[in-house]
Amino acid sequence: MHLSPSYPIETERLLLRPLSPDDVDAAHAYMSRPEVTAYTPYEPRSREEVAARFADPKFTRTTLDAEGQFVFLGIVVKETGQLVGDALLAWHSELHRSGEVGYQLHPDHWGRGYATEAAREMLRLGFEDLGLRRIVARIDEDNPGSAAVLRRLGMRQEAVLVENEWFKGRWSTEVIFAMLDREWRDLSGGA
């Protein structure tokens, strides 16, 4: 199993590409926002924290060749060239052929379908290019916008882990969505 796509990856309205140190200011514009980081493992980041992250090769990886690795791809609006968020594909297990998707967007771009479009492409990369069998997405139950994105993708809600994690000063209930490769093929027309 191996993932080595050609970049940028083009969707109808977006370009997905590896993040680089040149993206620090644009990424800081959303990574520093409390409404964006409310459901992420980190607090709003300073510009210096974003710069340090983008200087770390594991966060700017362009390929996957071993389980435990992940790619973060910048979400760029084709029409404007503006970086508006990022999407994640993580490879959890080679034996189980499992992975995870995630995404975050600048609030000025919420409600336009960009998260759905980017996450759909991450699912395609995971299933069709990497050969995963099962991909999950994990969200906080207090994040209905993200649940709507995952449902639009055709992912099924599979589990609700009630107050399973102490998260940012409260017990968080985690909701797990999942999709199998055969479900992906059915939704994408047998690709």
Measuring CA to CA, how many Å separate 161 from each of 137, 147, 154, 167? 13, 15, 21, 13
- What is the mean pLDDT, run by run of 10 residues, along the chain of 191 residues? 94 96 96 94 94 91 94 97 97 97 96 97 97 97 95 97 93 97 89 52
Measured between alpha carbons, how far is 129 from 147 in angstroms, rounded to an integer?
A: 25
Q: Identify the pLDDT of residue 108.
A: 96
Chain center to CA of 99: 11
SS3 string, 48-115, reads HHHHHHHHCHHHCCCCECCCCCEEEEEEEECCCCEEEEEEEEEEEECCCCEEEEEEEECHHHCCCCHH
Tell me what pLDDT residue 102 has: 97
Q: How deeply is 56 buried, as exposed, middle or buried, from its count of CB atoms within 10 A (0-12, 13-18, 19+)?
A: exposed
Res 58: pLDDT: 87
Domains, in order of start, for the chain: 9-187 (3.40.630.30)
Q: Are 130 and 163 in contact (CB under 8 A)?
A: no
The span from the CA of 125 to the CA of 43, in Å, is 29
Measured between alpha carbons, how far is 47 from 113 in angstroms, rounded to an integer? 27
**pLDDT score at 78:** 97
